[in-house]
Amino acid sequence: MLLLSHQSQICFIAIRLKITVWLTLTPSIYVPFRSVFYLFSLKPKCHGEIVVNEVSFVRKCIGADSSHGDLWGKLICTNFKVSFITHDALPMQRFQVANRLLGEHDVPLACVEQVVTVNDAKGKQKVLCSNQKLKFNPTELILYCKDFRIIRFRFDEAGPQSAKKVCDMTLTATCSGERVNGVDPGGGLQMPLFDRPSEWDREIKRTGAAEWRVCSINEGYIVSSSLPEYFVVPVSLADQDLKQYLCFFTAHRIPLWCWNHPNGSALVRMASISDPLQQRKLDQRICSAITKSHPQRSDVLKSDLDKNLPNIQDIQAAFVKVRQICVIEPFEESEEKWLSSMESSRWLEYVRAFLKHSAEVVYLLEGKHVSVILQEEEDRDLSCVVSSLVQLMLDPHFRSLTGFQSLVQKEWVMAGHRFLDRCNHLKKNDKEESPLFQLFLDCVWQIINQYPAAFEFTETYLTVLSDSMWIPVFSTFLFNCPQQRTENSMDFAKSKCIPVGEKALRFPPVWDWSQQFTPKDQALFNNPMYVGKGATCVQNGAVKSFRRTKKNYSSTLRGMPSSLRNILMDGHDSFTLTRRNSLVSRLKPDFSQIREVVESPTERFFRDWVSRPADLQGMLIPQLLPSHLALWRLYFLRWVPEASIPKGGPVTAYHKLSQLADEVEKLQSQLRQYKGATPASTPTSTPSAPPSDHSRMYFKAGSTHEPSSTPEYLSSSFPFSPVGNMCRRSILGTPLSKFLNGAKIWLSTETLANEAL
């Protein structure tokens, strides 16, 4: 056992936070997942997670103005997370959603954005890197997290006698004969993973894409490292032709089928053609093949996303500014100034740009009956956002929970989005980092906010899905492409002598939510207002089910006011978005300058769309005026105590609607039993028997004799708690402006040590 001085303990803990991020993502020593339910308890088990170091008598800061309410306990750093173990209880603790992999005070190492140490006496602070040592005695440790938390620990009372243990760095796992590290392909999941031809075949049949086929030329990843092994192409394109075209596309990413409209129009995505001499000839061949796949031999239009949408650097810069506004800067400023700051970040502007462009693609597919090709340099970033949003707007299947997960799996995971680089899990290249998936989820939330009854899932589900990106356990967000995901799984299996057999071993996908949450907490994903394909209703005493027919599939919904007609499509019928350098002026229209113009086909299409009654199982187009877009409060402000509304916010409506939905479910069940029972078999009431609980709602209907009231523990941050997860007092000792504006690329963080508090 090696004992270190107190200052060395704290320094070592802080530095290890960054080092072990890389360790946990290294395939050869990756944490095995034989039993995720036992792996990450408060005290690590011997199934792969090990304690790196620990220190006692640590104070976790809770109060914003004083030490009143702070928690005392032990700080532990493992190869997976930072844990704080305390016997104290937080107020309103019972309403916080519980994660089976993480304790209430745990932070996954991959979620740590920055580690800052502070010394009060010497007035020094430092942003730590893994290859540097502290030259002062830290009294405070601050963790800036990617999920917008700021967590602060103080070491005022932790003396030399509380020396920490230094544990062995080798991760030797004890594996039994049970299956380890994941699940069987598709085991327990009621959704396709799109890693086999049969699942693509089912999607082809579901969408009626009769003139498209599954292609297997990339089986074994022999032609492209970023494409999936199986994908869909036009029937008229032979494998031999595709192999000839491969070398002319960036990264060999030939056109990929995404989705088919019932009218025959197809949504396709592809990388740019790298050889200018082959540009025109290949465009003609690809467009001709797509045209032949259309029943009416309709035209094909191409959208260049690189020219029409913000780039990944712009999106990252906007996200950093939002973090500063929501987390770092004082929240006591006036509402007008705060909204002005939010507008200047351009985040909502970019959200609107992607929604707007997706709406234009929807118009082409739905209104003009033409196929659309989404073209991007490598077809792995912006196209993921747009293709997913287009399908979400047009296909109600993707608004169910299972359908939405299959959409992400198809258009992000299997299509080769660079999750490893864009999330910057390995901290290798900050210039590659960009929150494209968060941007997509924000766009989805905007549509849900306008059409809440059209989606089976809630904003809590979207928030939890985003948080899961920073838990380095799930393969969904760990790798850049399917090949990398497969190779790492195989390498891990070989290193642990795990028999693979016929079915490929997997790291567990995020879609098996039972690994993180109990059925009770998973009920928070369910939207009580959802009007789905099979949603039941009662009409004239009879239980009926809502069914979508092909006739009303394309019927439109009410959406934008008539004043938006000239704004959504920029007043003309051409399929273009503004260039980035003029995006601000075009996305902020001056209503005083709107003039009466001749109505274009685009405007006529959306005017007709507005005039029709709502159909929640039809096409959805979000309202796109700046006033219609809002900040996603639950995601951006959930850890800010000042922004929390006790017994207020959307959760109050969710609470009441859940109770009503639960009551309706019980009444429907009783009605079905009554209609199906014969007089001799009519069930009798048994008050002593425990009632069966088949409700999918988090909040259950109360007794009719005891009217329910809003629980005291509900707030606008539900089911997340700002208490204990955010402390603004920490900003006094930290150069946060530099932290946000370039601390990650400083040549030497020693310059911070010379700055006064």
pLDDT for res 147:
92
Interatomic CA distance for residues 732 and 734, integer angstroms: 6
CA 520 to chain centre: 21
Q: What CATH number should be reported for the domain holding residue 83? A: 2.30.29.30
Strands 81-86 and 71-78, sheet pairing: antiparallel
> What is the average pLDDT value for the chain, to the nearest integer?
75
Q: Average the pLDDT over each of 43-52, 77-86, 602-611 and give the range with the smallest value.
A: 43-52
pLDDT at 436 over 70: yes
Render pLDDT for 205-243 as a digit per residue (tens, 0 to 9): 999 999 999 999 999 999 999 999 999 999 999 999 999
Domain residue limits at 94 = 51-168
* Residue that the structure tokens 């938006």 belong to: 564
Length, in residues, of the chain: 757
Better pLDDT: 318 or 582:
318
Work out whether strand 150-154 and strand 140-145 pair parallel, antiparallel, or are unpaired.
Answer: antiparallel
pTM, entire model = 0.81
pLDDT over 90 at 439, yes or no: yes
**Which residues share a beta bridge with 118?**
125, 140
Evaluate whether residue 86 is within a structural domain: yes
DSSP H helix total and E strand total for the chain: 24, 16
In the structure, what pLDDT confidence band is assigned to residue 540 with cuts at 50, 70 and 90? Answer: very low
For residue 475, give Cα distances in angstroms to 28, 243, 297, 480, 578: 15, 29, 40, 10, 37
> Where is mean pLDDT largest: 2-16, 382-396, 558-572?
382-396
Q: Which two tokens stand for residue 242?
A: 């595709």
Cis upstream peptide for 330 (omega within 30°) = no
Q: Where does the pLDDT of residue 50 fall: very low under 50, low under 70, confident under 90, or very high at 90 and above?
A: confident
Q: Is 620 in a helix, a strand, or coil?
A: coil
Residue 559 lies in a domain: no
Tokens describing residue 655: 């609470």
Question: Is the pLDDT score of 689 beyond 70?
Answer: no
Our count of domains for the chain comes to 1
Identify whether 81 is part of a domain.
yes
Q: Residue 444 above 60 pLDDT?
A: yes
Of the candidate ranges 166-170, 449-453, 700-704, 717-721, the one whose mean pLDDT is the lowest: 166-170
CA distance 290 to 294: 7
In this predicted structure, the answer to whether residue 613 has a pLDDT above a threshold of 90 is: no
Which residue reads 């499509």 in tokens? 569
Closest CA to 556 of 490, 600, 626, 619: 619
Query: Beta 266-271 vs 371-376: how paired, if at all?
Result: parallel
Tell me the C-alpha distance between 516 and 461, whole Å. Answer: 12
Q: Whole-angstrom Cα distance, residue 183 to residue 509?
A: 8
Distance between CA atoms of residues 386 and 437, nearest Å: 11
Express as a percent the part of the chain with pLDDT over 70: 67
5-36 pLDDT, tens per residue? 444 443 444 444 443 433 343 333 333 332 22
Q: What one-character DSSP code corresponds to residue 509? A: P
CA distance 720 to 385: 27
733 within 8 A of 118, measured Cβ to Cβ: yes
The stretch 44-71 carries a mean pLDDT of: 72
Q: Is 125 a domain residue? A: yes
Q: Which segment of 101-105, 433-437, 476-480, 705-709 scores lowest on mean pLDDT?
A: 705-709
Q: Work out the average pLDDT over 622-637.
A: 91
Confidence of residue 414 (pLDDT cuts 50, 70, 90): very high
pLDDT tens digits along 329-348: 766 656 778 888 889 999 99
Considering the domain boundaries, does residue 527 fall inside one? no
* 144-149: average pLDDT: 90
Q: Which of 391, 710, 673 has its CA nearest to residue 543?
A: 673
Measured between alpha carbons, how far is 518 from 461 in angstroms, rounded to an integer?
14
DSSP 554-585: S-----S-GGGHHHHTTTSSS-----GGGHHH
> In this predicted structure, what is the pLDDT of residue 172?
25
3-state SS, one letter per residue, for 647-698: CCCHHHHHHHHHHHHHHHHHHHHHHHHHHHCCHHHCCCCCCCCCCCCCCCCC
Torsion region of 544: left, alpha or beta (phi above 0 gives left; psi -120 to 50 gives alpha): beta
Residue 106 inside a domain? The answer is yes
Residue 654 in this model has a pLDDT that exceeds 80: yes
User: Which run of H or E residues covers position 452?
Assistant: none
Contact 589, 536 (CB under 8 A): no
Residue 744 has pLDDT above 60, yes or no: no
**Bridging pattern class, strands 256-260 and 107-108:** unpaired
Distance of CA 724 to the CA centre of its chain: 24
pLDDT for 248-306, tens place per residue?
999 999 999 999 999 999 999 999 998 888 889 999 999 999 999 999 999 999 999 99
In the DSSP assignment, the letter for residue 119 is E
Q: How do residues 511-530 score in pLDDT, each as one tens digit?
A: 999 999 999 999 999 999 99
Q: Which long-range contacts (CB under 8 A, 24 or more apart) does 648-653 make?
A: 648/715, 648/716, 649/715, 649/716, 649/717, 649/718, 650/459, 650/716, 651/714, 651/715, 651/716, 651/718, 652/710, 652/714
For the sheet containing 371-376, what is the strand order? 256-260, 266-271, 371-376, 300-304
Report the C-alpha gap between 164 and 479 in whole angstroms.
34
Instruction: Identify the three-state secondary structure at position 405.
Output: helix
650 vs 533, residue with greater confidence: 650
**What is the pLDDT at residue 157?**
75
Pairing of strands 542-545, 536-539: antiparallel
Q: Which of these ranges, 117-131, 242-256, 431-445, has the smallest mean pLDDT?
A: 117-131
**For residue 271, is it within any domain?**
no
- Does a structural domain hold residue 182? no
User: Which residues, including other chains, have CB under 8 Å from residue 434's CB and lie 6 or more apart?
Assistant: 312, 313, 315, 316, 319, 381, 422
